[in-house]
Amino acid sequence: MAKKIQWLDEDCNRCGNRINSWDKRISKTLCYQYPCCEACIAAEYDVEIDALRSRMEHYFGMRPCLGI
């Protein structure tokens, strides 16, 4: 059973957009001191969001909710 994405009462440290549990998981995995959204992380690593998501799916062995 897949976990659902939860929107958190936290904002991205870079752009200020609201983050979700997937963004926070990626931030922790990549050792960010403060959580960032998936888009800002992808921009920092100079990859497309889909490429970052694919790599994280492989690392975690799970996919994010299709609603994000």
Instruction: State pLDDT tens for residues 7-21.
Output: 999 999 999 999 999
Return d(Cα 33, Cα 48) in angstroms, integer.
22
pLDDT-derived band at 64 (thresholds 50, 70, 90) equals low
For 24-63, the pLDDT digits (tens) are 999 999 999 999 999 999 999 999 999 999 998 888 876 6
CB neighbour list of residue 27: distance below 8 Å, 6 or more residues apart: 19, 34, 35, 36, 41
Q: What is the pLDDT of residue 66?
A: 54
Q: What is the pLDDT of residue 1?
A: 44
Amino acid at 36: C
Return d(Cα 1, Cα 55) in angstroms, integer.
21
Instruction: Note the pTM of the prediction, 2 decimals.
Output: 0.81
Q: What is the pLDDT of residue 61?
A: 76
